[in-house]
Structure 1
Amino acid sequence: MKYLYFLLFTVIVCSCSDKPVFSETFQQQTTGHYLFHPDAEIDVHYDNNKLLIDWVGVKDIEPLLLDNETFYIKEMNKKMRFVQNPSDGLYYLSEVMGDESVTYDYRKQPDSIRVPSYYLHRKAYDKALKGYLELQSKDSSLALIEEVKFNRFGYNKLSSKAYEEAIAIFKINVALYPKSANVYDSLADAYLRSGDSLQAYNNYSKSLALESANPRAQRYIKAYNNE
């Protein structure tokens, strides 16, 4: 009887510790960023044979491993597997559905191709703007590039007194929405708080030209002209 208990205990311990071992080749093939949507990526990397995921600002998510290719990501509520598409030879992340069919949902991207938000959060604002302009040219109604999104992000920077970053973000908004009075008003506000009264005046003037009923711009321009 004691022998049976010992055998059962051994089986349980071995099965619990039997974690998948990813070969060096497999790690190299699957490490990288996979396109989740036009402005977000799923970043896959390994640390001491541990599979880790970065997704929408959450770092080092450790998924539940189901086998050497399949895993569950609680934060996404998705069961996924690595698959290689025979038609292009590229690796994809495939969402695993009930029928276990193979789909090619999120393609691994070349290192040279990144989504605009990747550059935005690394302060590479010119590259970010280029990417957002490309997205806008394909679909101007895309929620990912809404004016209010950049305005909110810029004011978050402004509230922490990161003036240069706020100005750069508001400039992206101006480039995306040059006919909006609000984007010039926000940019003027950032310049004003940073101490650049001339650029504040210039951008309040642009805002007022697009929307004459802007009391803040009116007050500032009047005060500036009376100095």
Structure 2
Amino acid sequence: MKNLLKVFFLILCCLGCSSSKNSDAFISATTGRYLFNANEVLEVYFKEKVLLIKWRGKEGIQPLKVNDSIFYMKELNEKIIFISTPITHIELAVKTAHKGIKYQFKKMNIGEKTPTEYFEAEDYKNAKIAYVKIQKIDSLNPAITQSVLNVTGYNYLNNNHLKKAIEIFKINIVLYPKSSKTYDSLADAYLKLKDTTNAIANYKKALSINPENRSSLRNLQQLSPK
């Protein structure tokens, strides 16, 4: 009897192991990076035919396989569904908590990056294009909030990454050209770089938009004393 039980459990284990495996066709179609949101990636990859996910810096996340195309990801508390038509993408299974919203994550093209990834790679031109693209699609997207980009810029500035600070402030100006604060921030970065010409020019631009910008006024008076 004990031997029969051992055999039974071995069979269950084998079935469990084999059920987590995926076909070569599925692996080929689904391996890649998916846009979780406008500036964040969910990466799908496989090890020994078992589906794994990298998300928010954590690698080796193994969702529970429900069937050949549906997996439960406890980190999201969601069932993710791989859809092959018209093009491969991921959807979240419908549930009450979604309040009727359909969540889809598009598969990214090879070489495609998020705005932050372009920026960190110092590809500032494509970073700017990517940020502007987000704004055109969704002007309220958190990834392009003026205050978030401004804080990011000052974090770079405080850590002496002056080039990155200047470039993120420039992107913020492209997104919000009528904001006095964006020019004031860029001027601060030029001032720390000891580029007084560009610092003065941007403080003046900030004041032309908002004459009551105290930061710009104070710094400009110090740079251009009477």
User: TM over 0.5, yes or no?
Assistant: yes
Counterpart secondary structure, 1:36: strand
CA gap of 1:58–1:109, structure 2 versus 1, over 3 A, is: same
CA gap of 1:59–1:109, structure 2 versus 1, over 3 A, is: same
Residue 193 of structure 2 corresponds to residue 197 of structure 1:
no
Counterpart secondary structure, 1:72: strand
- Answer whether contact 1:83 1:104 (CA < 8 A) is retained: no
Partner of 1:54: 54
- d(CA) in 1 for partners of 2:12 and 2:136? 57
Partner of 1:6: 6
Alignment coverage as a number of residue pairs? 220
CA gap of 1:77–1:208, structure 2 versus 1, over 3 A, is: same
Counterpart secondary structure, 1:133: helix
Partner of 1:134: 133
TM-superposed deviation, 1:61:
4.5
Partner of 1:161: 160
- Answer whether contact 1:150 1:173 (CA < 8 A) is retained: yes
Partner of 1:73: 73
1:95 to 92, 97, 115: 92
CA gap of 1:202–1:48, structure 2 versus 1, over 3 A, is: farther
- d(CA) in 1 for partners of 2:7 and 2:47? 33
- d(CA) in 1 for partners of 2:154 and 2:181? 13
What letter corresponds to residue 95 of structure 1 in structure 2? L
CA gap of 1:174–1:97, structure 2 versus 1, over 3 A, is: closer
What letter corresponds to residue 26 of structure 2 in structure 1? F
- d(CA) in 2 for partners of 1:124 and 1:48? 35
> % of aligned pairs identical?
33
What letter corresponds to residue 89 of structure 2 in structure 1? Y
CA gap of 1:92–1:104, structure 2 versus 1, over 3 A, is: farther
RMSD, matched Cα: 2.7
Partner of 2:224: 225
- d(CA) in 2 for partners of 1:157 and 1:192? 14
- Answer whether contact 1:81 1:93 (CA < 8 A) is retained: yes
Unaligned runs of 5+ in 1: none
Partner of 1:144: 143
TM-superposed deviation, 1:16:
4.6
- Answer whether contact 1:63 1:72 (CA < 8 A) is retained: no
- Answer whether contact 1:63 1:74 (CA < 8 A) is retained: no
Counterpart secondary structure, 1:43: strand
- Answer whether contact 2:54 2:61 (CA < 8 A) is retained: no
CA gap of 1:94–1:220, structure 2 versus 1, over 3 A, is: closer
TM-superposed deviation, 1:50:
3.8
What letter corresponds to residue 92 of structure 2 in structure 1? E
